[in-house]
Chain A
Amino acid sequence: MNWRRAFLAALSAVPVILLLAWGLTRDPREIVSPLPGRPAPDFALTVFAPGEPPLARPLGDTLALARLRGSVVVLNFWASWCLACRDEHRDLSAAAMAYAGQPVQFVGVLYNDIESAGSDWIREMGGQVYPSVTDPGARTAIAFGLYGVPETFVIDQSGRVAYKHTGPIPEALIRRKVDSLLIANRGAAD
């Protein structure tokens, strides 16, 4: 073994490894959404899963974004076939419950799925406290530039997208985003 030569050869691998290591910290799929800061696309969708009191909405009711001005809207796209949606389900319900009585509306949007499968899923998961709506033809999903499920949009009181989250969203993050919008609005109202 010629250790000196071996060492020099090993050294030549370092830049390659460093480049690859750096590359791992980047996300090539990270497509910057143009939505945050802009008005959210309007929608008027039909409730298929009413949720539970006190957050329930009547079955067949229409939830329109335009009529939710003044409330913070947490819009969560999900599907019964989506594994990651199971992970965030408890967090979303807990967060929604914590804001009961405040101007915050949680809405689930069923994405590329059939209603009965969605209802079965909710029953199986032990209920969903806030209402879910259907999105025929995935029009609203397309308008929001959905990349996959789950994705969650937090919309402020004036109807602007304040935050977009890709993947399962933890309760603490929802609360931080919603709290800051509620506080900012209180400041503006004063």
Chain B
Amino acid sequence: MTRLLALDALWFALIASVVGGVVAPFALARGRLRWVAVVQGAVYANFALVTVATVTMMVALLRHDFSISYVAQVGSRATPAFYTAISLWGALEGSILFWAWVLALYAAAVVYINRRREGLLVPYTGVVLLLIALFFHVLLVGPANPFHAVSPVPADGPGPNPLLQNHILMAVHPPLLYLGYVGMSVPFAFAVGALLAGQIASDEWIRAARRWTVTAWLMLTAAIIAGMWWSYEVLGWGGYWAWDPVENASFIPWLTATAFLHSVMVQERRGMLKLWNLNLIVGTFALTILGTFLTRSGIISSVHAFASGTIGYYFLAFIAVVLVAALVLVAGNSERLRTDGRFDSPLSRDAVFLVNNLLLTVFMFTVLTGTLFPLVAEAVRGVKVSVGEPFFNRMTLPVMVLLLFLMGVGPALPWRRGDPAALRRRLMIPAGFGIAAAVAAIALGTRAPYAVLTFLFAGFSVAANVGEFVHGGRGRRTARGEPLHLAIWRVARGTPRRFGGYLAHIGVLVFAVGIAASSTFRTESEANLKLGESMEVDGITARLREVWGREEPQRQVIGATVAIERGGDTVAVLSPRMNFYPTSQQPIPTPDVRSTLLGDTYLNLVAFRPDGSGATIKMIREPLVPWIWIGGGIICLGAVFGVIPPRSRGGEEVQA
């Protein structure tokens, strides 16, 4: 019964998106302005209907209604309710449903927030979002229908993929990723909406596009970092990034979105790079769809890939339509996007943004090439090959290091034309910090050139960006006589976009230091320990106390109790575990980590003796790992600043 209700809701959502996405634009183009209300109504109706379907699915999952195919596929009576609820995005059909819901949510938010705005920009933006929604609705009533009837009704199901029911971050990473990925549709919709409304040359749409891009960028950044964290906490190898095709798929649009967030300022300030910005918006959206295609079609093998079916062909058709339509619209209108200003000097913020965009684009193409290489190689030479970490590291490290450097230089430079002497004065102290950081790193044993450069530029750029806060605060303190910390807060709050940007820079730099330190100074060892025996890594002793087993409803857990000792004192007790799920041949590891600000002690249970007399433990010491997550948090905080409106309008920028 509920099954049919949900399916009908999806059919009506499909009809709403046809009316608002296909019929309405023709009416709007003929000047029938009453259709503006139709588009709005369709967007809201679509949201309500997809919500009905999604809530129905959630209820069915929680009530173990195995008569619904998706529940029978991912549900299990033994799985805890929390993991049952989040298995909504645990397999293909459910994730498409969730995707459609996030898209409907964004569309409704765009229309609602801009409900008082005049003109045709927002209606056409709604049209584009409904057209994208239409594609997902076709999938949902067709090849990815999660609401098939199962008969006879099974008594129980296999439960979600073990990797998805093993850690709480699985409740965070996927939804953030969807919010980030789907959020990139909004700037795209604004761009295409502006083209359709004939307002591409105006500034109205680019401001809206920037705001929505920051929002989506915030989600995507948080998602990528949550994914790294999850990988670190669950996979048992002590790493957080492996250039897996699907990790890359989330990172590639992040790079173009980051480039856009910088170059859009050049357009707002100087009226330049209009066509380039349009390309970045369209490219980012196309890359999110490409990324989805790579994950959902089974075209490239990856730990993240979902099982595939005919759905790949639907996605291919969609990509083709998006690519062709976007290219036609952009190229066909390129003459209307002529630049108003021109670059004055290579020593200016404008120029740094240009170089930054160049580097980010090179970065993007490098990762894209590496990701698609297996496909190209098989097409050309007929062999299955893939390029691994060495390719990505070697190709991208120089770009990353240069970007770290630019993060310090850019904020210190004025628009249009900089004064070399002033720049030197302003960057003197940061340069000192950078050199000090590099010397300290070398003294501590860093030898890899890129690691040394990372510390050098990170020290430099952190100091430069912190300096911008201090600089701004001092000015206000002198003018208003406020204490420095209050002055800094008020200046930052007055121009949140600018200081949000600096904060994000500081976050990226902290993040980079965490990565450089943890990969350079990582030490590890593996040992077979009997009860009471110990191993030592980097001055820290791990002593095996106990090997134990526990039956839980949905799995069997084997664990080791290990005392972490330093100088004879027990500083922590860790319990790395192995979880055995009925549907998985291999145990799912659950490492245990002791984190301090200086670094992590990471233990993984590799093997155990069935009689409980001993275990094989892998022990990894990685310095500064927590700073990766702290840096990630700072980036996100910066992005939050980037979307909130300024408190006073006395700042130097005008918000959309």
B332 touches A5 (CB 8 A): yes
Q: Are A117 and B156 in contact (CB under 8 A)?
A: yes
Q: Say whether, besides A9-B327, A20-B293, A83-B150, A26 and B378 are in contact (CB < 8 Å).
A: yes
Does B588 make an interface contact (CB < 8 A)?
A: no
A10, B293: Cβ atoms under 8 Å?
no
A23 touches which of B150, B375, B585 (Cβ 8 Å):
B375
A79 cross-chain contacts in B, Cβ below 8 A: 158
- Total chain A interface residues with beta-carbon distance under 8 A: 39
Q: Which of B154, B313, B316 has the most CB of A within 10 A?
A: B154
Which one, B72, B372, B379, B582, contacts A112 given CB within 8 A? Answer: B582
Chain B residues in 8 Å Cβ range of A7:
328
Classify chain B's interface size.
35 or more
**A1 touching B73, Cβ below 8 Å:** no
Asked if B324 contacts A10 (CB within 8 A), the reply is yes
Asked if B439 is at the interface of the complex by the 8 Å CB criterion, the answer is: no
B323–A16 CB distance below 8 A? yes
| Chain B proximity mask over A2-25: 1 for CB below 8 Å, otherwise 0 | 110111111011001101111110
The answer to whether B595 has its CB under 8 Å from any CB of chain A is no
Is B33 engaged at the interface, CB distance under 8 Å to the other chain? no
**Which residue of B is nearest A6, CB measured?**
B332
Q: Are A28 and B327 in contact (CB under 8 A)?
A: no
Say if the beta carbon of A143 comes within 8 Å of chain B.
no
B400 at the interface (CB under 8 A from A): no
A129 to B155, CA, bound (A): 22
Is A142 interfacial (CB-CB < 8 Å)?
yes
Q: Is the CB of A17 within 8 A of B158?
A: no
Question: Within 8 Å of chain B (Cβ to Cβ): is A124?
Answer: yes
Q: What is the distance, in angstroms, from B431's C-beta to the closest C-beta of chain A?
A: 44
Judged by a CB distance under 8 angstroms, whether B2 is at the interface is no
The listed residue (A6, A22, A27, A142) touching B298 by CB distance below 8 A is: A27
Q: Decide if A82 is an interface residue (CB 8 Å cutoff).
A: yes
Chain B residues in 8 Å Cβ range of A12:
327
Q: Is A29 an interface residue (CB 8 A)?
A: yes
**Cross-chain contact B152 with A124 (CB below 8 angstroms):** yes
* B616 CB–A CB distance under 8 Å: no
Find chain B residues with CB under 8 A from A19 CB: 372, 375-376, 379
Bound complex: CA A90 to CA B579 (Å) = 35
Say yes or no: A82 contacts B327, CB within 8 Å.
no
Residues A1-60 near B (CB distance < 8 A): 1-3, 5-10, 12-13, 16-17, 19-24, 26-29
* CB-contacts of B296-334 with A (<8 A): 297-301, 305, 312-313, 316, 319-320, 323-324, 327-334
Q: CA separation between A86 and B150, bound complex, in Å?
A: 10
- CA gap between A53 and B379 in the complex, in Å: 53
Task: Give the residues in chain B near A113, CB-CB below 8 Å.
Answer: 582
Does the CB pair A1–B316 fall under 8 Å? Answer: no
Which B residues touch A124, using CB under 8 A?
152, 154-155
Give the residue name and chain of the B residue nearest to A7 (CB): B328
Pick the contact of B323: A2, A17, A82 (CB < 8 A): A17
Which chain B positions have C-beta within 8 A of A132? none
Contact partners of A27 in chain B: CB under 8 A: 298
Check if B298 sits within 8 Å of A17, measured CB to CB: no
User: B335 to nearest A CB, angstroms?
Assistant: 6
- Contacts A9-B327, A12-B327, A23-B379 hold; do A17 and B301 have CB atoms under 8 A apart? no
**A12 to B324 Cα, complex, angstroms:** 9
Of residues 120 through 158 on chain A, the ones whose CB sits less than 8 Å from some CB of chain B are: 120-121, 124-125, 138, 141-142
Q: A2 touching B332 by the CB < 8 A rule?
A: yes
Return 9 A-B CB contacts under 8 Å, by A number.
Answer: A2-B332, A2-B333, A6-B332, A23-B379, A79-B158, A80-B155, A117-B155, A125-B152, A138-B585
Residues of A that sit less than 8 Å from B by CB: 1-3, 5-10, 12-13, 16-17, 19-24, 26-29, 79-83, 86, 112-113, 117, 120-121, 124-125, 138, 141-142
